[in-house]
Amino acid sequence: MLLVTWGFYSFRYSAVRLPSPEPSPFDWEGMLGRAGAIGPTIAFARDHRLLPEAFLYGVASFRAFALGRPTFLNGEHSWEGWTWFFPYCLAVKTPLPLLALVATGAAGAVVRRETRYDTSPLWVLLAVYWTSAIASRFNIGHRHLLPTYPAMLVLAGGVVHWLDTRRRPARLLVASATLALIVESVATWPHYLAYFNQLAGGPRHGYRHLVDSSLDWGQDLSGLARWLERNVPPGTPVYLAYFGTGSPDYYHIQATRLPGFFDHWRRREWYLPGGGVYAVSATMLQSVYSLVPGPWAVPYEQRYQDALSDLRRIAATPDEGQRQQLMRAFLDEKFLLFEQLRFARLCAFLRRREPDDDIGHSILIYRLSDRDVREALYGPPAELLPDVRVAGVVRQ
Protein backbone atom coordinates (compact mmCIF):
# COMPACT_ATOMS: atom_id res chain seq x y z
CA MET A 1 0.00 0.00 0.00
CA LEU A 2 2.83 2.39 0.82
CA LEU A 3 4.46 1.63 -2.52
CA VAL A 4 1.22 2.27 -4.39
CA THR A 5 0.69 5.58 -2.56
CA TRP A 6 4.20 6.75 -3.37
CA GLY A 7 3.70 5.67 -6.97
CA PHE A 8 0.67 7.90 -7.37
CA TYR A 9 2.91 10.85 -6.46
CA SER A 10 5.77 9.73 -8.74
CA PHE A 11 7.83 8.88 -5.63
CA ARG A 12 8.22 12.60 -4.92
CA TYR A 13 7.80 13.94 -1.38
CA SER A 14 7.39 17.66 -2.05
CA ALA A 15 3.93 18.81 -3.08
CA VAL A 16 5.49 21.57 -5.21
CA ARG A 17 7.48 20.21 -8.13
CA LEU A 18 9.54 23.32 -8.82
CA PRO A 19 11.17 25.69 -6.32
CA SER A 20 9.09 28.82 -5.91
CA PRO A 21 9.67 32.17 -4.21
CA GLU A 22 6.03 32.11 -3.14
CA PRO A 23 5.23 30.90 0.40
CA SER A 24 3.98 27.36 0.79
CA PRO A 25 0.28 26.97 -0.08
CA PHE A 26 -0.09 24.65 2.91
CA ASP A 27 -1.07 25.90 6.36
CA TRP A 28 0.50 22.98 8.19
CA GLU A 29 0.36 24.54 11.63
CA GLY A 30 -3.29 25.45 11.41
CA MET A 31 -4.36 22.19 9.77
CA LEU A 32 -2.50 19.93 12.21
CA GLY A 33 -3.98 21.86 15.12
CA ARG A 34 -7.46 21.10 13.81
CA ALA A 35 -6.80 17.45 12.91
CA GLY A 36 -7.55 16.15 16.40
CA ALA A 37 -5.84 13.14 17.94
CA ILE A 38 -4.33 12.02 14.65
CA GLY A 39 -2.46 15.34 14.23
CA PRO A 40 0.79 14.23 15.97
CA THR A 41 0.91 11.05 13.85
CA ILE A 42 0.56 13.08 10.64
CA ALA A 43 3.25 15.50 11.87
CA PHE A 44 5.61 12.57 12.58
CA ALA A 45 5.04 11.12 9.10
CA ARG A 46 5.68 14.54 7.58
CA ASP A 47 8.85 15.23 9.56
CA HIS A 48 10.30 11.82 8.61
CA ARG A 49 8.93 11.92 5.06
CA LEU A 50 7.17 8.59 5.41
CA LEU A 51 4.53 9.57 2.83
CA PRO A 52 4.20 12.29 0.16
CA GLU A 53 3.55 15.76 1.52
CA ALA A 54 0.38 16.33 -0.54
CA PHE A 55 -1.09 13.03 0.66
CA LEU A 56 -0.39 13.82 4.30
CA TYR A 57 -1.82 17.30 3.99
CA GLY A 58 -4.93 15.83 2.37
CA VAL A 59 -5.39 13.45 5.31
CA ALA A 60 -4.94 16.32 7.76
CA SER A 61 -7.44 18.44 5.83
CA PHE A 62 -9.99 15.63 5.80
CA ARG A 63 -9.65 15.11 9.55
CA ALA A 64 -9.89 18.82 10.24
CA PHE A 65 -13.05 19.24 8.18
CA ALA A 66 -14.57 16.00 9.44
CA LEU A 67 -14.43 17.31 13.00
CA GLY A 68 -16.50 20.35 12.08
CA ARG A 69 -17.76 21.34 8.65
CA PRO A 70 -20.82 23.40 7.66
CA THR A 71 -23.51 21.40 5.94
CA PHE A 72 -27.08 21.88 4.77
CA LEU A 73 -30.13 19.65 4.68
CA ASN A 74 -33.74 20.64 4.01
CA GLY A 75 -33.39 24.24 5.12
CA GLU A 76 -31.34 23.38 8.20
CA HIS A 77 -27.67 24.15 8.81
CA SER A 78 -25.26 22.27 11.02
CA TRP A 79 -21.61 22.00 12.03
CA GLU A 80 -22.22 18.53 13.45
CA GLY A 81 -24.19 16.79 10.72
CA TRP A 82 -27.14 14.39 10.94
CA THR A 83 -27.36 10.63 11.30
CA TRP A 84 -30.08 10.59 8.65
CA PHE A 85 -28.16 12.68 6.10
CA PHE A 86 -26.95 9.80 3.91
CA PRO A 87 -30.20 7.79 4.05
CA TYR A 88 -31.97 10.96 2.92
CA CYS A 89 -29.45 11.43 0.09
CA LEU A 90 -30.13 7.89 -1.10
CA ALA A 91 -33.88 8.43 -0.92
CA VAL A 92 -34.00 11.64 -2.98
CA LYS A 93 -30.98 11.26 -5.29
CA THR A 94 -31.74 7.74 -6.56
CA PRO A 95 -34.38 7.25 -9.29
CA LEU A 96 -37.47 5.70 -7.77
CA PRO A 97 -37.67 3.00 -10.50
CA LEU A 98 -34.12 1.96 -9.60
CA LEU A 99 -35.01 1.78 -5.91
CA ALA A 100 -37.96 -0.41 -6.86
CA LEU A 101 -35.74 -2.74 -8.89
CA VAL A 102 -33.17 -2.96 -6.10
CA ALA A 103 -35.82 -3.72 -3.48
CA THR A 104 -37.50 -6.31 -5.70
CA GLY A 105 -34.19 -7.90 -6.66
CA ALA A 106 -32.90 -7.98 -3.09
CA ALA A 107 -36.09 -9.69 -1.97
CA GLY A 108 -35.68 -12.22 -4.76
CA ALA A 109 -32.07 -12.90 -3.76
CA VAL A 110 -33.17 -13.62 -0.20
CA VAL A 111 -36.13 -15.78 -1.17
CA ARG A 112 -34.10 -17.84 -3.61
CA ARG A 113 -32.27 -20.39 -1.47
CA GLU A 114 -29.29 -20.88 -3.80
CA THR A 115 -28.48 -17.14 -3.94
CA ARG A 116 -28.59 -16.38 -0.23
CA TYR A 117 -25.00 -17.49 0.36
CA ASP A 118 -23.74 -16.12 -2.95
CA THR A 119 -24.96 -12.62 -2.15
CA SER A 120 -23.76 -12.60 1.47
CA PRO A 121 -20.58 -10.57 0.68
CA LEU A 122 -22.80 -7.85 -0.78
CA TRP A 123 -24.96 -7.72 2.33
CA VAL A 124 -21.85 -7.53 4.53
CA LEU A 125 -20.41 -4.69 2.41
CA LEU A 126 -23.67 -2.73 2.58
CA ALA A 127 -24.06 -3.31 6.32
CA VAL A 128 -20.52 -2.19 7.12
CA TYR A 129 -20.60 0.81 4.79
CA TRP A 130 -24.00 2.03 5.91
CA THR A 131 -23.13 1.65 9.58
CA SER A 132 -20.09 3.83 8.96
CA ALA A 133 -22.02 6.34 6.84
CA ILE A 134 -24.80 6.81 9.38
CA ALA A 135 -22.28 7.29 12.18
CA SER A 136 -20.25 9.78 10.13
CA ARG A 137 -20.73 13.52 10.65
CA PHE A 138 -18.89 14.33 7.43
CA ASN A 139 -22.10 15.16 5.59
CA ILE A 140 -20.58 16.68 2.49
CA GLY A 141 -22.48 14.96 -0.29
CA HIS A 142 -24.30 12.08 -1.92
CA ARG A 143 -21.12 11.05 -3.78
CA HIS A 144 -19.87 9.36 -0.61
CA LEU A 145 -22.52 6.70 -1.19
CA LEU A 146 -21.34 5.80 -4.70
CA PRO A 147 -19.41 2.67 -3.56
CA THR A 148 -22.73 1.13 -2.45
CA TYR A 149 -24.42 1.38 -5.85
CA PRO A 150 -22.51 -1.46 -7.60
CA ALA A 151 -23.52 -3.81 -4.76
CA MET A 152 -27.14 -2.66 -4.99
CA LEU A 153 -27.16 -3.08 -8.77
CA VAL A 154 -25.89 -6.65 -8.44
CA LEU A 155 -28.64 -7.37 -5.92
CA ALA A 156 -31.14 -5.92 -8.38
CA GLY A 157 -30.31 -8.91 -10.55
CA GLY A 158 -32.40 -10.91 -8.10
CA VAL A 159 -35.46 -9.87 -10.12
CA VAL A 160 -34.67 -12.99 -12.15
CA HIS A 161 -36.30 -15.00 -9.37
CA TRP A 162 -39.60 -13.25 -9.91
CA LEU A 163 -39.32 -13.54 -13.70
CA ASP A 164 -38.68 -17.27 -13.38
CA THR A 165 -41.94 -17.68 -11.51
CA ARG A 166 -43.68 -16.63 -14.74
CA ARG A 167 -46.01 -14.39 -12.79
CA ARG A 168 -47.45 -11.71 -15.03
CA PRO A 169 -47.60 -8.94 -12.34
CA ALA A 170 -43.90 -9.46 -11.54
CA ARG A 171 -42.92 -9.20 -15.18
CA LEU A 172 -45.00 -6.07 -15.62
CA LEU A 173 -43.41 -4.48 -12.55
CA VAL A 174 -39.87 -5.19 -13.73
CA ALA A 175 -40.58 -4.06 -17.30
CA SER A 176 -42.34 -0.88 -16.15
CA ALA A 177 -39.57 0.05 -13.69
CA THR A 178 -36.87 -0.57 -16.30
CA LEU A 179 -38.68 1.51 -18.93
CA ALA A 180 -39.31 4.33 -16.42
CA LEU A 181 -35.63 4.34 -15.45
CA ILE A 182 -34.58 4.68 -19.10
CA VAL A 183 -37.04 7.51 -19.71
CA GLU A 184 -35.95 9.36 -16.59
CA SER A 185 -32.26 8.99 -17.46
CA VAL A 186 -32.82 10.41 -20.95
CA ALA A 187 -34.95 13.26 -19.60
CA THR A 188 -32.28 14.22 -17.05
CA TRP A 189 -29.40 14.38 -19.57
CA PRO A 190 -26.94 16.08 -19.25
CA HIS A 191 -27.57 17.38 -15.73
CA TYR A 192 -27.07 14.13 -13.82
CA LEU A 193 -25.25 15.74 -10.89
CA ALA A 194 -28.30 17.91 -10.22
CA TYR A 195 -30.75 14.98 -10.37
CA PHE A 196 -33.40 14.64 -7.67
CA ASN A 197 -36.34 12.28 -7.83
CA GLN A 198 -40.02 13.01 -7.34
CA LEU A 199 -39.79 12.79 -3.52
CA ALA A 200 -37.83 16.07 -3.61
CA GLY A 201 -39.99 17.63 -6.31
CA GLY A 202 -37.52 16.86 -9.10
CA PRO A 203 -34.25 18.60 -10.04
CA ARG A 204 -35.86 22.05 -10.17
CA HIS A 205 -36.44 21.95 -6.40
CA GLY A 206 -33.26 20.13 -5.45
CA TYR A 207 -31.61 23.27 -4.04
CA ARG A 208 -34.17 23.30 -1.23
CA HIS A 209 -32.98 19.88 -0.04
CA LEU A 210 -29.23 19.46 -0.68
CA VAL A 211 -26.43 21.60 -2.04
CA ASP A 212 -22.63 21.39 -2.35
CA SER A 213 -21.45 18.24 -4.15
CA SER A 214 -24.94 16.72 -4.09
CA LEU A 215 -26.00 19.36 -6.59
CA ASP A 216 -23.58 22.19 -7.17
CA TRP A 217 -19.92 21.94 -8.09
CA GLY A 218 -19.77 25.07 -10.19
CA GLN A 219 -20.37 22.97 -13.31
CA ASP A 220 -22.74 25.34 -15.10
CA LEU A 221 -20.65 28.42 -15.92
CA SER A 222 -20.66 27.61 -19.63
CA GLY A 223 -24.43 27.19 -19.53
CA LEU A 224 -24.77 30.53 -17.75
CA ALA A 225 -22.70 32.23 -20.45
CA ARG A 226 -24.99 30.85 -23.18
CA TRP A 227 -28.11 31.81 -21.22
CA LEU A 228 -26.91 35.38 -20.70
CA GLU A 229 -26.09 35.72 -24.38
CA ARG A 230 -29.57 34.57 -25.41
CA ASN A 231 -31.71 36.18 -22.71
CA VAL A 232 -30.05 39.34 -21.41
CA PRO A 233 -29.85 42.49 -23.55
CA PRO A 234 -26.48 44.26 -23.64
CA GLY A 235 -26.12 46.83 -20.89
CA THR A 236 -28.34 44.97 -18.41
CA PRO A 237 -26.60 44.76 -15.01
CA VAL A 238 -25.65 41.18 -14.12
CA TYR A 239 -24.62 40.03 -10.63
CA LEU A 240 -23.01 36.64 -10.01
CA ALA A 241 -22.53 34.73 -6.73
CA TYR A 242 -20.55 31.69 -7.86
CA PHE A 243 -19.70 28.49 -6.01
CA GLY A 244 -16.84 26.72 -7.75
CA THR A 245 -13.30 26.92 -9.04
CA GLY A 246 -14.08 27.89 -12.63
CA SER A 247 -13.30 31.31 -14.04
CA PRO A 248 -16.27 33.43 -15.18
CA ASP A 249 -13.82 35.54 -17.18
CA TYR A 250 -12.86 32.49 -19.25
CA TYR A 251 -16.47 32.25 -20.42
CA HIS A 252 -16.64 36.03 -21.03
CA ILE A 253 -19.26 36.50 -18.32
CA GLN A 254 -19.45 40.21 -17.61
CA ALA A 255 -20.90 40.45 -14.12
CA THR A 256 -20.43 42.20 -10.81
CA ARG A 257 -19.09 39.51 -8.52
CA LEU A 258 -21.03 38.98 -5.32
CA PRO A 259 -19.52 36.89 -2.51
CA GLY A 260 -18.81 33.33 -3.61
CA PHE A 261 -16.67 30.40 -2.59
CA PHE A 262 -13.15 29.64 -3.82
CA ASP A 263 -12.99 33.29 -4.90
CA HIS A 264 -10.12 34.59 -2.77
CA TRP A 265 -8.72 36.04 -5.98
CA ARG A 266 -11.85 38.14 -6.58
CA ARG A 267 -11.21 41.87 -6.52
CA ARG A 268 -12.83 43.42 -3.48
CA GLU A 269 -14.03 46.88 -4.33
CA TRP A 270 -17.00 49.00 -3.44
CA TYR A 271 -20.19 48.43 -5.41
CA LEU A 272 -23.84 49.16 -4.82
CA PRO A 273 -26.27 46.39 -5.93
CA GLY A 274 -29.23 47.51 -8.00
CA GLY A 275 -31.84 46.10 -10.32
CA GLY A 276 -30.75 43.52 -12.89
CA VAL A 277 -30.19 39.81 -13.39
CA TYR A 278 -28.89 37.92 -10.35
CA ALA A 279 -27.26 34.53 -10.99
CA VAL A 280 -26.74 32.75 -7.66
CA SER A 281 -25.24 29.30 -7.18
CA ALA A 282 -27.49 27.07 -5.08
CA THR A 283 -24.83 26.60 -2.39
CA MET A 284 -24.38 30.34 -2.04
CA LEU A 285 -28.13 30.93 -1.90
CA GLN A 286 -28.40 28.66 1.15
CA SER A 287 -25.61 30.54 2.99
CA VAL A 288 -23.57 27.43 3.76
CA TYR A 289 -19.98 28.59 3.28
CA SER A 290 -20.17 32.12 4.55
CA LEU A 291 -19.10 34.41 7.36
CA VAL A 292 -22.84 34.67 7.92
CA PRO A 293 -24.03 31.03 7.90
CA GLY A 294 -27.58 29.83 8.23
CA PRO A 295 -30.87 31.75 8.16
CA TRP A 296 -30.92 35.49 8.76
CA ALA A 297 -31.06 36.22 12.48
CA VAL A 298 -31.16 39.11 14.94
CA PRO A 299 -27.36 39.16 15.58
CA TYR A 300 -26.75 39.47 11.84
CA GLU A 301 -29.36 42.21 11.49
CA GLN A 302 -27.79 44.20 14.33
CA ARG A 303 -24.31 44.04 12.79
CA TYR A 304 -25.70 44.91 9.38
CA GLN A 305 -27.57 47.96 10.68
CA ASP A 306 -24.45 49.06 12.59
CA ALA A 307 -22.46 48.93 9.35
CA LEU A 308 -25.14 50.91 7.50
CA SER A 309 -25.01 53.53 10.27
CA ASP A 310 -21.24 53.77 9.82
CA LEU A 311 -21.71 54.34 6.09
CA ARG A 312 -24.34 57.03 6.69
CA ARG A 313 -22.00 58.84 9.09
CA ILE A 314 -19.21 58.67 6.54
CA ALA A 315 -21.51 60.03 3.80
CA ALA A 316 -22.57 62.89 6.09
CA THR A 317 -18.98 63.96 6.81
CA PRO A 318 -18.63 67.44 5.28
CA ASP A 319 -14.88 67.38 4.72
CA GLU A 320 -14.03 65.57 1.46
CA GLY A 321 -10.56 64.49 2.58
CA GLN A 322 -11.79 63.14 5.89
CA ARG A 323 -14.70 61.40 4.16
CA GLN A 324 -12.34 59.61 1.78
CA GLN A 325 -10.06 58.63 4.66
CA LEU A 326 -12.97 57.19 6.65
CA MET A 327 -14.19 55.31 3.59
CA ARG A 328 -10.76 53.78 2.97
CA ALA A 329 -10.66 52.65 6.59
CA PHE A 330 -14.14 51.11 6.22
CA LEU A 331 -13.12 49.23 3.08
CA ASP A 332 -9.95 47.93 4.73
CA GLU A 333 -11.44 46.94 8.08
CA LYS A 334 -15.17 46.34 7.72
CA PHE A 335 -16.11 45.87 4.09
CA LEU A 336 -15.51 42.09 3.97
CA LEU A 337 -17.99 41.39 6.77
CA PHE A 338 -20.41 44.05 5.52
CA GLU A 339 -20.42 42.56 2.03
CA GLN A 340 -21.13 39.10 3.47
CA LEU A 341 -23.93 40.48 5.64
CA ARG A 342 -25.47 42.37 2.75
CA PHE A 343 -25.36 39.32 0.50
CA ALA A 344 -26.78 37.04 3.21
CA ARG A 345 -29.70 39.45 3.70
CA LEU A 346 -30.28 39.41 -0.07
CA CYS A 347 -30.24 35.59 -0.06
CA ALA A 348 -32.84 35.54 2.73
CA PHE A 349 -35.04 37.64 0.44
CA LEU A 350 -34.41 35.40 -2.58
CA ARG A 351 -35.17 32.21 -0.66
CA ARG A 352 -38.72 33.51 -0.21
CA ARG A 353 -39.41 33.65 -3.93
CA GLU A 354 -39.24 31.22 -6.84
CA PRO A 355 -36.33 31.62 -9.28
CA ASP A 356 -37.25 33.06 -12.66
CA ASP A 357 -35.06 30.43 -14.33
CA ASP A 358 -32.16 28.13 -13.57
CA ILE A 359 -29.03 26.96 -15.32
CA GLY A 360 -28.60 23.21 -15.03
CA HIS A 361 -30.57 23.45 -11.76
CA SER A 362 -27.39 24.59 -9.95
CA ILE A 363 -27.32 28.33 -10.79
CA LEU A 364 -30.58 30.12 -10.01
CA ILE A 365 -31.68 33.17 -11.97
CA TYR A 366 -33.60 36.08 -10.43
CA ARG A 367 -34.71 39.19 -12.28
CA LEU A 368 -34.86 41.97 -9.69
CA SER A 369 -35.99 45.56 -10.03
CA ASP A 370 -34.41 48.45 -8.13
CA ARG A 371 -37.41 48.30 -5.81
CA ASP A 372 -36.82 44.58 -5.16
CA VAL A 373 -33.21 45.23 -4.23
CA ARG A 374 -34.11 48.13 -1.94
CA GLU A 375 -36.69 45.96 -0.20
CA ALA A 376 -34.18 43.10 0.18
CA LEU A 377 -31.36 45.27 1.54
CA TYR A 378 -33.11 48.06 3.41
CA GLY A 379 -36.68 46.94 4.08
CA PRO A 380 -37.91 44.65 6.86
CA PRO A 381 -35.93 41.36 6.78
CA ALA A 382 -37.57 38.56 4.80
CA GLU A 383 -36.72 36.22 7.68
CA LEU A 384 -35.50 37.02 11.18
CA LEU A 385 -34.78 34.35 13.75
CA PRO A 386 -34.02 35.37 17.34
CA ASP A 387 -30.61 33.69 17.27
CA VAL A 388 -28.19 32.08 14.83
CA ARG A 389 -29.72 28.67 14.20
CA VAL A 390 -26.84 26.50 13.11
CA ALA A 391 -26.88 23.12 14.83
CA GLY A 392 -23.81 22.89 17.02
CA VAL A 393 -23.39 26.69 17.06
CA VAL A 394 -26.25 28.74 18.52
CA ARG A 395 -25.40 32.31 19.45
CA GLN A 396 -27.63 35.02 20.86
Q: Where are the domains of the chain?
A: 2-66, 85-212, 216-395
pLDDT band at 395 (very low <50, low <70, confident <90, very high): very low
What's the rounded Cα separation, in Å, for the pair 360 and 279? 12
**pLDDT tens, 120-150?**
999 999 999 999 999 887 888 999 999 999 9
**What pLDDT was estimated at residue 396?**
37
- DSSP E strands: which ranges in the chain? 71-73, 76-78, 238-241, 256-257, 276-281, 357-359, 363-368, 388-390, 393-395
Nearest CA to 329 among 342, 345, 346, 313? 313
For residue 300, the Cα-to-chain-centroid distance in whole angstroms is: 22
**What pLDDT was estimated at residue 58?**
84
pLDDT band at 12 (very low <50, low <70, confident <90, very high): confident
Please name the amino acid found at residue 271.
Y
**What pLDDT was estimated at residue 392?**
46
pLDDT band at 67 (very low <50, low <70, confident <90, very high): low
- Flag whether pLDDT at 29 surpasses 90: no
**What share of the chain in percent tops pLDDT 70?**
93
- b or e along 267-288 (b: 16 or more beta carbons within 10 Å of the residue's beta carbon)? eeeeeebebbbbbbbbbbbbbb
Q: What is the DSSP string of 281-310?
A: EHHHHTT-SSSS-SS-BHHHHHHHHHHHHH
Regarding predicted confidence, which is higher, 264 or 29? Answer: 29
Regarding predicted confidence, which is higher, 351 or 160? Answer: 351
What's the rounded Cα separation, in Å, for the pair 161 and 104? 10
The answer to which of 77-91, 94-108, 311-325, 382-396 has the lowest mean pLDDT is: 382-396
**What pLDDT was estimated at residue 18?**
58
What's the rounded Cα separation, in Å, for the pair 102 and 88? 17
Regarding predicted confidence, which is higher, 263 or 229? Answer: 229
**What pLDDT was estimated at residue 136?**
84
Q: Given the DSSP bridges, would you call strands 256-257 and 357-359 parallel, antiparallel or unpaired?
A: unpaired
Q: What is the mean pLDDT of residues 299-327?
A: 95
- Flag whether pLDDT at 161 surpasses 90: no
**pLDDT tens, 172-198?**
888 899 999 999 999 999 999 999 999
Q: What is the mean pLDDT of residues 312-337?
A: 94
The answer to which of 3-12, 186-195, 237-246, 271-280 has the lowest mean pLDDT is: 3-12
For residue 95, the Cα-to-chain-centroid distance in whole angstroms is: 21
Q: What is the mean pLDDT of residues 188-209?
A: 96
Regarding predicted confidence, which is higher, 58 or 200? Answer: 200
Helix axes 85-93, 120-135, angle to 10 degrees: 120
Residue 122 near residue 195, CB atoms below 8 Å = no
Helix, coil or strand: residue 240: strand
pLDDT band at 393 (very low <50, low <70, confident <90, very high): very low
Q: Other CB atoms closer than 10 Å to residue 186's CB: what's the count?
A: 8
Largest CA distance in the chain: 91
What's the rounded Cα separation, in Å, for the pair 219 and 216? 7
- Flag whether pLDDT at 221 surpasses 50: yes
What's the rounded Cα separation, in Å, for the pair 260 and 111? 52
Question: What is the overall mean pLDDT for the chain?
Answer: 89
CA neighbours within 13 Å on the CB side: how many for 335? 15
**What pLDDT was estimated at residue 126?**
96
Residue 257 near residue 251, CB atoms below 8 Å = no
- Flag whether pLDDT at 42 surpasses 80: yes
